Amino acid sequence: MIRFSSCIASSRSTTVATDRRGVVALWVAVTTPAVALALGLGVDVTEWVVANQQLQRAADAAANSGAIQYGITLNAQQAANAAADIAEANGALGGTRAARTWNASTKTLVDGRITVVVGTAVASGDSASVAVTLTKTVAPTFSSVVSSASKTITATGTADATPGVPVVTYTQPCLVGLGTASAGASDITFSGSGAVHGTCSILSNEQISLSGGVQISVGTAFANGAITIPGGTSITGVVKANTGTLQADPYAGNSTLTAALQQLGTGTPTNKPALNVGGVTNTTIVAGVYPSWTIGASGTVVLSPGLYVVKGPINLSGAALITGSGVSIVSSSSLVISGGPFVTLSAPSTLTATGGSVPGVLFATNLNATSSAGLNFSGGAAPTLTGVIYGPNTQTSISGGVQTNGTAGCLEIIAYSINVTGGASVSNAGCAALGVNWLGPSSTTSGPGGTKLVM
C-alpha cells in the first residue's frame, strides 16, 4: 500500500507558511505609507512649532523695541517704525521702509506681513502699548504628498511703555506756528532735501509734516496735532505729538511792540521818504517812519540803531551788504529777502533798546494774510538774523535758507504758518540775553521709562 500522509502534511505546512508570508507582506504594503505619512506629518508639525516659537520671539522683541522708542519720543509713528525694523531684522517679511503705510487715526503701521498697533496701555498706569503681529507661511515637507497647502502661522507680541522720570528736555522754540483755523492742517511744514539744525524746539498749534528728504535736528518737536515723518525724512530730538495744548500769541500783550505797531496807522505820518537804494553805493539810514523800502544795491547799506516803521513792503535784493545792530523794524506789509544780498541784522537787547525799538524783536508785521507769504526768504545767500521775526497772522516761506549768528545766536520765527523748503540754522542760546519772551510748555517733561511684555 502506498502512503501519502507525510507528503500531504508537508504540502500543507508549506502552504500555511506561504500564506503567512503573504499576509505579512500585504500588511506591510498597506501600513507602510500610513506610517511614513504619520512620521512625515510629525516632522512637519515639529517644523511648524519651531517656526511659531521663532516668530513669537521676533514679535516679542519687536514689541519691546517699539515700546522703548515710544518711551523716548512719545511718538506713535516712530515707535511703530522701530518695532517694524526689529521684526524685519529677526526675519519677518516686510517691504522697504518707504513702502510702509501709516494710519494716524488708528495708529497702525502695515509693512508686508508685519502689523504694528500703538494703543492704550494694557496695564494700569503705563503710558501706551505696542502690539506687533507677524505672519509667516511654512510650506509642507513630507505631508505634501497628501496636500500641497502651506501652513500660515501667526504670532503677536505686546509690550507696555512704562512712565519715565521727569527730565528737562524742552528748550525755547525757534519756529512757532500759531495757526488754528483748519483742523488736520499743518502750520509747520518741511520739504525738499534741505536740513534744519538747532538746539531749540519747534512748536505747532496744528500739525508738523515732513516730506522729501528733509532732516530735522532740534531739541523737541511739539504739535497740538499729528507729526508726520515719512520714509526718507527724520527728526532727531524728542517728538511730542497730539499734546492737546495751544500756544497763545506770546507778544499779544507786549506794550512796547504794541506801541511800535500802532505807528503803522494813519495817525502817524511818514517823516522819511521812500527808501530806494540802487546801484553801487554806500548808504547809512536812520530810524524813522518810511513809506516803503527797496534795497537792490551792490554796495553797503548800514542801519543805525533804533525803530524803523515802514508802512509799505520791504524788498531786499541785489548783491548789497546790509547790516545793522540794535534794530527793530515794523511793517504793515511784507518782508522779502531774495536774490543775493548779504544781510546781517540783529535786534536790540533790553539794555540797548532805544527810540522805541523792541527788545529781542528784529522784525514784526501786522499784515493779515494767512494764505500768502508775508515773510519770504529766498534766493542766494542766507541772511544772518538775530532776534524774533514776528508775523502772527501771515505765512513765512523759507526757500533760500536763513541762519543766526552761530550757535550762540538767537533766531525765533513766530508766524501763522511756516513753510521751509530750503535750509535753516537756528539757535536759542542768545535769546535770554536779548530779552526774548519765553514761550511753550514747561521745560520739565517726562523722560524715557522702561518696558514690559504684557501679552
In the structure grid, which three cell numbers stand for residue 81, read together? Answer: 517704525
Q: What angle do CA 247, 249, 251 make, to 5 degrees?
A: 140
**Mean pLDDT of all residues belonging to the chain:** 81
Q: Are residues 203 and 79 in the same domain?
A: no
Nearest CA-CA partner of 401 in 418, 378, 417: 378
pLDDT averages per 10-residue partition of the chain, 455 residues: 49 53 61 59 68 87 88 83 90 78 91 92 81 86 61 88 58 86 77 74 91 85 89 84 84 93 91 88 92 87 96 89 95 87 91 94 89 78 86 87 70 91 78 79 54 64
Strand ranges for 178-262 from DSSP E:
186-190, 195-197, 201-204, 207-210, 215-223, 227-228, 234-240
The pLDDT assigned to 261 comes to 95
- Per-residue cell: 314: 520791504
Q: What is the dihedral of CA 170, 175, 181, 184, to 10 degrees?
A: -70
Give me the DSSP letters along 143-171.
GGGT--PPEEEEEEEEEEEPP--EEE---
Residue 273: inside a domain: yes
* Interatomic CA distance for residues 101 and 118, integer angstroms: 14
Express each pLDDT in 294-353 by its tens digit. Answer: 988 787 899 999 999 999 999 988 888 899 999 999 999 989 988 778 899 999 999 999
Domain final residue pick, 133, 161, 189: 161
Contact 173, 426 (CB under 8 A): no
Residue with cell 492742517: 185
- Please check whether residues 419 and 354 belong to one and the same domain: yes
| 298 and 180 together in one domain | yes
Q: How far apart are the first and last CA of the chain?
A: 93
- Domain extent for 348: 173-439
Is 8 within a domain?
Answer: no
Query: Which residue, of 130, 161, 192, is where some domain finishes?
Result: 161
**133 assigned to some structural domain:** yes
Tell me how many domains the chain contains: 2
Is residue 281 domain-resident?
yes
- Assigned domain for 312 exists: yes
H or E segment to which residue 438 belongs: none
Q: Are residues 45 and 182 in the same domain?
A: no
Residues 177, 157 within the same domain: no
- pLDDT score of 364: 95
3-class DSSP state for residue 376? strand
Residues 131, 234, single domain; the answer is no
Cα–Cα distance for residue pair 191/384, rounded to 1 Å: 21
Distance of CA 416 to the CA centre of its chain: 20
Q: Look at the block and give the residue holding cell 501679552.
A: 455
Residues 220, 318 within the same domain: yes
- Does 131 share its domain with 184? no
- Examine the fold and report which residue of 161, 193, 214 is the final residue of a domain before the chain moves on: 161
Q: What is the pLDDT of residue 78?
A: 87
Residues 139 and 217 in one domain: no
Assigned domain for 370 exists: yes
- Cα(75)–Cα(122) distance, integer angstroms: 18
Indicate if 235 and 346 belong to the same structural domain.
yes
- Helix, strand or coil, per DSSP, at residue 331: strand
pLDDT at position 406 is 59
Q: What count of Cα atoms within 13 Å lies in the side-chain half-sphere of residue 3?
A: 3
Pick the closest to residue 227 from 250, 246, 211, 247 (CA basis).
211
- Angle, nearest 10°, between helix axes 76-89 and 5-73? 150
The pair phi, psi for residue 265, each rounded to 5°, is: -75, 175
Residues 239 and 329 in one domain: yes
Q: Are residues 421 and 312 in the same domain?
A: yes
